[in-house]
Amino acid sequence: MDISIVIPLFNEEESLPELMAWIDKVLKGREFEVVFIDDGSKDESWDVISKLSSEYPGVIKAIRFARNYGKSAGLQKGFEAASGKVVFTMDADLQDSPDEILIMEKMLLDGGLDLVSGWKKKRHDPISKTLPTKLYNWMTRRVSGIYLHDFNCGLKCYRLNVVKAIEVQGEMHRYIPLLAKDAGFDRIGEHIVSHQARKYGTTKFGLERFTNGMLDLMTVAFVQRFGRKPMHLFGLLGTITFALSSLLFLAIGGYKIYAMTYGLDAKNITEISAFYVALSGMILGSQLFLSGFIAEMVSRTNPARTDYRISEKLD
Q: Do 160 and 280 have their domain in common?
A: no
pLDDT tens, position by position, 92-113: 988 899 999 999 999 999 999 9
Q: What is the per-residue pLDDT for 208?
A: 63
Q: Do 195 and 74 have their domain in common?
A: yes
DSSP alpha helices (H): ranges in the chain? Answer: 16-26, 45-55, 71-81, 101-110, 127-144, 160-165, 176-182, 208-226, 231-261, 273-300
Residue 309 domain-assigned (yes or no): no
Last residue of a domain, one of 160, 194, 226: 226
Task: For residue 109, count other CB atoms closer than 10 A to its CB.
Answer: 14
CB-count burial class (<10 Å; 0-12, 13-18, 19+) for 131? exposed
Residue 30 Rama label (left phi>0; alpha psi -120 to 50; beta): beta
Q: Do 287 and 141 have their domain in common?
A: no
**Confidence (pTM):** 0.75
Q: Do 140 and 248 have their domain in common?
A: no
Q: Do 163 and 273 have their domain in common?
A: no
Q: Do 141 and 260 have their domain in common?
A: no
pLDDT tens, position by position, 53-98: 999 998 999 999 999 998 999 999 999 999 999 999 999 988 899 9
Q: Do 141 and 284 have their domain in common?
A: no
Q: Do 137 and 279 have their domain in common?
A: no
Q: Do 208 and 188 have their domain in common?
A: yes
Give the CA dihedral 230, 146, 100, 155, nearest 10 degrees: 30
CB-count burial class (<10 Å; 0-12, 13-18, 19+) for 28? exposed
Q: What is the per-residue pLDDT for 191?
A: 93
Q: Do 57 and 150 have their domain in common?
A: yes
Distance CA(300)–CA(159), nearest Å, equals: 31
Q: Residue 181's domain is classified under what CATH number?
A: 3.90.550.10
Query: Domain total for the chain?
Result: 2
Distance CA(291)–CA(224), nearest Å, equals: 18
Q: Do 131 and 93 have their domain in common?
A: yes
Task: For residue 277, count other CB atoms closer than 10 A to its CB.
Answer: 14
Low-confidence stretches of the chain (pLDDT < 70) are 124-131, 197-199, 201-210, 213, 303-315
Q: Do 116 and 172 have their domain in common?
A: yes
Host domain of residue 19: 3-226
Tell me the CA distances in angstroms from 128 to 125, 133, 206, 207, 217, one per residue in order.
Answer: 8, 9, 11, 9, 21
* Cα atoms in the 13 Å half-sphere on the side-chain side of 205: 18
